[in-house]
Every structure is written in C-alpha cells, then in structure tokens.
Chains A and B, each alone.
Chain A
Amino acid sequence: MIEVQNLAVTFGEGASAIRAVNGIDFRVAAGETFGLVGESGSGKSTVLRALSGLNPDWTGAMRVDGQALDRKRSKAFYKLVQMVFQDPYGSLHPRHTVDHVLAEPLTIHGMLDVDRRIEQALAEVGLGPAFRFRYPHQLSGGQRQRVAIARALILEPKVLLLDEPTSSLDVSVQAEILNLLQRLKRERGLTFILVTHNLAVVAHMCDRLAVMNAGRIVEEMTVSDLRKGAARQAYTLQLFNASLGYDRAKAKELITFA
C-alpha cells in the first residue's frame, strides 16, 4: 500500500542545513499497522509530514496505492490518505463548530449527503448528535481527538497517518481512543502508520515497526520480536529497557547514540 524509497528531508541551506531524514526505505502492506518509533528529533514525524504532503521539500520516491507521489498532491490523494495529529487542542479551529470542521472536507471534495455523513461520522467515533454544534473549547481532550478522527475518516480514506494520537491524553482516555482506532481499522480495512515514542502503544497497535535515530532507520522488527526484547541493535535495546520503567543500575549505563 505504501512504499518509501531513499526518502530524505533537509531543512535549511548550506552550513546550517539539517538532514532531518537521511535516506530511509520502508514498505507497508494493505491492512497493516506500521509503527515509527524514536526519540525527539529522530525524524519520525518528518517522515509522516513528507508522506502526507505537508512538507514539500523531500527527495527520493514514495508510492501510495500504486501511485507515485509528487511534490504537490492532488485532491484525490487526500481522499486516499488522511492524518490525525498529536495535539487535539491545536488541530481544531477554535472558532469552528464540530459541524463546520466535518463539513469542510465534504464541501472541498464535492461530496453529497452532508447531513447523513456528519451524523454517521460522529456516531462512528462514539459521539452523539448533541456534539455536532459544539465548539472545541466545550469538548474534553479525548472528545476533541474523536472529532479529529471523525474528520480524517469522513472522506473514507484507505490510509490513516497517526502522529502521536494519544500522547497528550490521560491513560484511561488513551485506552478508549486506541480501541476506537482498532475497531475502525477492522471495520474499514484501513492501513495505519503510527508515529509514537511509546513502545507499549506500538506493541499494542502495530504488526511491524521501524526504530529511527538521527534521521535513519536503525532497525526494522516485528512486534513479537519487540515483545521478547529481541532487538539486534544496541540503540533499540536501550530504548526498550528504558521503556520498562526506572532502573537505577541501567540509568547509569545509558549512552548517547549519535
């Protein structure tokens, strides 16, 4: 479904240029959930932004559903690929009602049956019709993230790009959102790319994952290998150990990977 070859993204020019993504390759099969894991600055979100068309300055080749991607994306692309962002407070327009947020993509794509689609989209993410005319400030963080998911799914895409979708939510709300995403994926046969720094979330959601550091993929592995702690690279192993909780002896041995 998704194929990325030798993708590189550079910010800035000349001496101050920063290679955020430094030649990476991966493939994601249809119906798969692929995790991109790494610490801040590893380039994981930049990969997602290049893929979604939010970052036009990239080199390499990317294909989605057999179509090679250009710098500028067509309308049809956005019907195929949608994205959910990390911060549900920042990703919804504060002065647009939920109705407005959900109607906009439908208008852009000239889709009919607006009323029915909005009501259905809200129902699918577990929000009643009462939420339709509310503003973002009248919603909790979890409810906002549900609206963001409804907005992404209202165009019936095949691919959903998820950028830390639950990291600003409480754990009990995180569980609800992750369950919702899993159910929608099952029902609609979606393909997910999930960017996160939380290995436990990756283990729960994904089939395979790639670990990124300093713009490169350090290691690609299956989730069953991750659960066993069977990493081949020292970097992955250190990340894995740190995710298990605080351990005084291990904390002293941590090294910085460049």
Chain B
Amino acid sequence: MSQKLLSVEGLEVRFHTPKGIVEAVRGISFDVGKEKVGIVGESGSGKTMTGRSVLRLVRPPGEVRAKRIDFDGIDLQGLDEVEMREIRGRRIAMVMQDPKFSLNPVMTVGRQIAEAYLVHHKVAAAQARERTLEMLAAVKIRDPERVYGLYPHEVSGGMGQRIMMAMMLIPDPDLLIADEPTSALDVTVSMQVLAILDDLVTQRGMGLMFISHDLNLVASFCDRVVIMYAGRIVETCKASELQQAKHPYTQGLLASLPRIDRPVAELSVLSRDPAWRDGPVVVDGVMRS
C-alpha cells in the first residue's frame, strides 16, 4: 500500500434504542492509502456507518467511539465542528447512496454544484459555472448546459447519482467515500463512472473508500477488499485474490452468486454460523483469532 491517508483504529458505532443498545460497528481498524479500497457486506453489516463515522455524520442516538481516526496527520476526533467543516467536502467527500434525498429539491442542480465549489474556492460566479459545466461533462452527462438548469425531480436516478458525484468531486477532495455510488446505474453507465473514479485515484492520487454489496464489481474494480459481517471486518485481502477467500462467510457469499460463465443447477445458500460474529478473522489469507 502507498502512503496512508486515513487510518482508523478500534471504531465502534452504537445506537441507544428503546429496546437496548444496537452495536452497528464493533471495533474495526483499517487504513486507506491512495488506492481503491472496497468495503463489502450485506445490509446491516455496518459498512455505511463505517463510512459515515469518518466524516462524523452519524446522528444521535448514534454514538461513535474510536481509539484513533487519523486523516493525513490530523486527528479527526480532536477537531471541533468548525474545523471539521473545513475537512468535510473539501478534503474528504462522500457520495451517498440515494441522490433523491441528498439534493436540495428547490435549487437547480447546476447551482448546487457551483455552490459546492464556491464554498471552498474564492472565485467569481461565472468561473464556478464554467467549472460546474466541465464537471458535469466529466461525469458523462450529455448536455451539461441543459442539465445545469434542471431541478432534482426532473432528473433520473442514474443522472442524479452522477450529479452527486460531480458535486462531491468539484472541490477536488483527497479522499472520497462512495456509498453504493453505482448501484442505481445501468451497467454501461456504471462502468463509465467507475472509469472516472479510477482516473482520479491512479492519476491524481485520490484515496477511495468504495462501499458496495457487489462482490464481483469490487473484485474487478478495487485494489483491496474489506469484508464486513455483523459490524466486524471478517476478512481483508487483495481484490485480485478475492476468489481465493478463506473466511467461510466470504466463500459463502461468492458461492451464492449466479455466474454467466459457470452454470449450476441450484445456487448454494449461505448458512450463517453464529461463530462468525466473534470468531477468527482472515487477513491476507491468514487466519487470526
């Protein structure tokens, strides 16, 4: 791995609910360098909460604790809310899962993107508009001039997702946390969007935390994969070695996927072992307790 951008140690996220404490993330540690790290898991595994806690976006009754959250030499936990705002958006950006709920419904998408640029850069409005149009074109939106003036309800889900991506990338962040950024997109559009992210990582040295439930996509796109189960990281490995995963949960997930190249009469079904919750984990093919 290249130089560390983000280093997280002992992260815990819990929710105090009327029915007791729900532990969404249970003490995980990981690093992200100038690379593509895939965080994979099923619903409820804690992958989204992991992404959100880095940016301090977990709202009460959620409670985040960590031994350490370091970003580029800065202790994120030691920052006050004003200092955190300097980091959020400008240096670490996050693309959320659902663009419909993340965009302001009464402001044109172009103005929203330009605003994201103006908050962090002291330039004239015309220049921000110019930059916004470039960014819309970069995320493969065909007619940027027209789309600039549209309201969020006038764009499709796939286009909304690309607009969000343009908004998050326009301040030129060092680390992008992308939560299922392509799951609402058609496969071909999704490939084009991934190519943009790929370029930003390989050419500009951005770090990418790619949160996804799609194992095949992560295996083909990312450099490293982190697999989460019940709030813990159960396995980490090189993306190219995901097919040789050692943890029974990872193996079970891979086996339950239908594949074009490998016909099977019946799909194998994952039988969950209660021991996975607290049992040994696998790091680069080696079992650890």
Please list the residues of chain A having a beta carbon within 8 angstroms of any beta carbon in chain B.
Answer: 39-41, 141, 170-172, 174-176, 178-179, 182, 197, 199-201, 203-205, 226-227, 238-240, 242-248, 250-252, 254, 256
- Min Cβ gap B42→A in Å is 4
Shortest distance from the beta carbon of A14 to any chain B beta carbon, whole Å: 20
Contact call B220/A247, Cβ cutoff below 8 A: yes
| A29 → B minimal CB distance (Å) | 20
The smallest C-beta distance from B145 to any residue of chain A, in angstroms, reads: 18
Contacts of B126 in A (CB 8 A): none
* CB neighbours of A240 from chain B (8 A): 260
A179 touches B260 (CB 8 A): no
Nearest A-chain residue to B271, judged by Cβ: A172
Nearest CB of A to B130, in Å: 25
Query: Which of A141, A178, A182, A246 contacts B191, CB < 8 Å?
Result: A246
Most interface-central of A141, A205, A252 (chain B CB within 10 A): A252
Residue of A nearest to B193 (CB): A251
- Known contacts A204-B267, A246-B217, A227 near B260 by CB under 8 Å: yes
Give the complex CA separation of A175 and B256 in angstroms. 6
Determine the chain A residues whose CB is within 8 A of the CB of B16 once the complex forms: none
Q: Are A40 and B43 in contact (CB under 8 A)?
A: no
* Given A170-B43, A174-B256, A243-B260, residue A179 in contact with residue B267 (CB < 8 A): yes
Nearest CB of B to A177, in Å: 10
Instruction: Tell me, in angstroms, the Cα distance from A206 to B76 when the chains sit together.
Output: 51
A246 with B221: CB separation less than 8 A: yes
C-beta contact mask, B188-209 vs A, less than 8 Å → 1, else 0? 1111101100100000000000
- B257 contacts A171, C-beta separation under 8 Å: yes
Q: Which residue of A lies closest to B270 (CB)?
A: A172
B20 within 8 A of A: no
Which residues on the A side are within 8 Å of B10 (C-beta)?
none
Chain A nearest Cβ from B94, distance in angstroms: 21
Q: Which residues of chain B from 255 to 287 have any CB-CB distance to chain A below 8 Å in the complex?
A: 256-261, 263-264, 266-270
**Selected contact of A40 from candidates B156, B213, B216, CB within 8 Å:** B156
Can you name 6 A-B residue pairings with CB atoms under 8 Å?
A: A39-B186, A200-B258, A239-B188, A242-B191, A245-B217, A246-B198
Q: In the bound complex, how far is the Cα of B188 from the Cα of A178, in angstroms? A: 25
The answer to whether residues A197 and B187 also contact, given A175-B256, A245-B221 and a CB cut-off of 8 A, is: yes
User: Who on chain B is nearest to A227 by CB?
Assistant: B260
With the chains together, A175 CA to B259 CA distance in Å?
Answer: 12
Would B253 and A172 count as touching, CB distance under 8 A?
yes
Contacts of A41 in B (CB 8 A): 156
Q: Are B195 and A248 within 8 A (Cβ)?
A: yes
**Is B215 an interface residue, CB under 8 A from the partner?**
yes
B interface, size bucket: 35 or more
B263 CB contacts on chain A under 8 angstroms: 203-204, 227
> Which one, A170, A203, A254, contacts B258 given CB within 8 A?
A203
Find chain A residues with CB under 8 A from B198 CB: 246, 248, 251
Query: Which residues in window 227-266 of B have CB below 8 A to A?
Result: 252-253, 256-261, 263-264, 266
Q: Is the CB of B220 within 8 A of A245?
A: yes
Query: A40-B156, A204-B264 are contacts. A171–B213 as well, Cβ < 8 Å?
Result: yes
**Bound-state Cα–Cα, A113 to B258, Å:** 38
In the assembled complex, the CB of B55 is this many whole angstroms from the nearest CB of chain A, namely 25
Who on chain A is nearest to B43 by CB?
A170
B188 contacts A200, C-beta separation under 8 Å: no
A197 to B142, CA, bound (A): 23
| B173 at interface, CB cutoff 8 A | no
Residue of B158, B189, B191 most packed against chain A (CB within 10 A)? B191
**Known contacts A40-B158, A171-B253, A242-B191; is-contact A178 B258 (Cβ 8 Å):** yes
Please give the distance in Å from B186's CB to the nearest CB on chain A: 4
CB-CB nearest in chain B for A141: B43
In the complex, the answer to whether A203 meets B213 with C-beta atoms within 8 Å is no
Residue of B nearest to A169 (CB): B43
- Asked whether, in the complex, the Cβ of B187 is within 8 Å of the Cβ of A243, the reply is yes
Smallest Cβ-Cβ distance to B158: which chain A residue: A40
B220 adjacent to A172 (CB under 8 Å): no
Extra contacts, 6 of them, besides A175-B269, A204-B264 (Cβ < 8 A), are A172-B256, A197-B187, A227-B260, A239-B187, A246-B217, A254-B191
Contacts of B270 in A (CB 8 A): 172, 175
Q: A171: which of B157, B189, B215, B266 is its contact (CB, 8 Å)?
A: B215
**Which residue on A lies nearest to B186, using beta carbons?**
A39
Closest 3 CB pairs of A and B: A245-B220, A204-B258, A175-B256
Shortest CB-to-CB span from B206 to chain A, Å, is 16
Contact at B268–A175, with CB atoms within 8 Å? yes
Closest to A199 in B: B260
